[in-house]
């Protein structure tokens, strides 16, 4: 009777080995997937992108600020009407200061802030370049 059970035991032991192998491989795949996810998140993080491409990031933010300022200014600036020529009656000259609209003031403040940010990014990048050259030399 022991000879009849031997093939069944060997098959069962082989099944157990295969289940263990599958389980181990599954854990390896999960670990690799987690590592790949972490590597991708680190590689594509905004901080890492700024660190690797500081000049490009500064240029993009500068151009974006200029374009955004012009778009905002064109959307919210008062429309200018052509001056009508009055020949019958002359109006007295009065000086009225053109008061900028609150939106124009805000757009100017945003533009100034973007320029300050670009300047700060450039200075930070220069400092890091100088420090890295000091460490190498």
User: Is the confidence at residue 72, as pLDDT, over 70?
Assistant: yes
State both tokens at 55: 């000049």
- What is the reported pLDDT for 1? 45
76 contacts: CB under 8 Å, gap ≥ 6: 101, 103, 104, 107
Q: What's the mean pLDDT when you consider all of the chain?
A: 80
- Domain borders along the chain are 1-44, 53-76+101-137
Segment 83-104 shows an average pLDDT of 61
Question: pLDDT for 17-32, tens place per residue?
Answer: 999 999 999 999 999 9
Point out the least confidently predicted range of 12-16, 91-95, 127-131.
Answer: 91-95
Distance in angstroms (rounded) separating the CA atoms of residues 25 and 3: 34
More confident residue, 60 or 101: 60
């Amino acid at each position: 009777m022991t000879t009849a059970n031997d093939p069944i035991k060997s098959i069962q032991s082989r099944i157990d080995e295969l289940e263990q192998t599958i389980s181990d491989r599954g854990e390896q795949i999960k670990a690799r997937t987690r590592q790949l996810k972490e590597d991708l998140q680190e590689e594509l993080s905004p901080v890492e992108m700024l660190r690797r491409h500081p000049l490009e990031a500064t240029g993009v933010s500068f151009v974006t600020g200029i374009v955004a300022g012009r778009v905002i200014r064109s959307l919210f600036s008062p429309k200018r009407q052509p001056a009508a020529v009055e020949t019958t009656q002359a109006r007295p000259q009065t000086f009225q200061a053109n008061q900028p609209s609150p939106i124009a003031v805000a757009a100017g403040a945003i533009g100034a802030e973007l320029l300050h940010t670009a300047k700060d990014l450039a200075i930070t990048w220069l400092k890091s370049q100088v420090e890295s050259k000091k460490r190498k030399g």
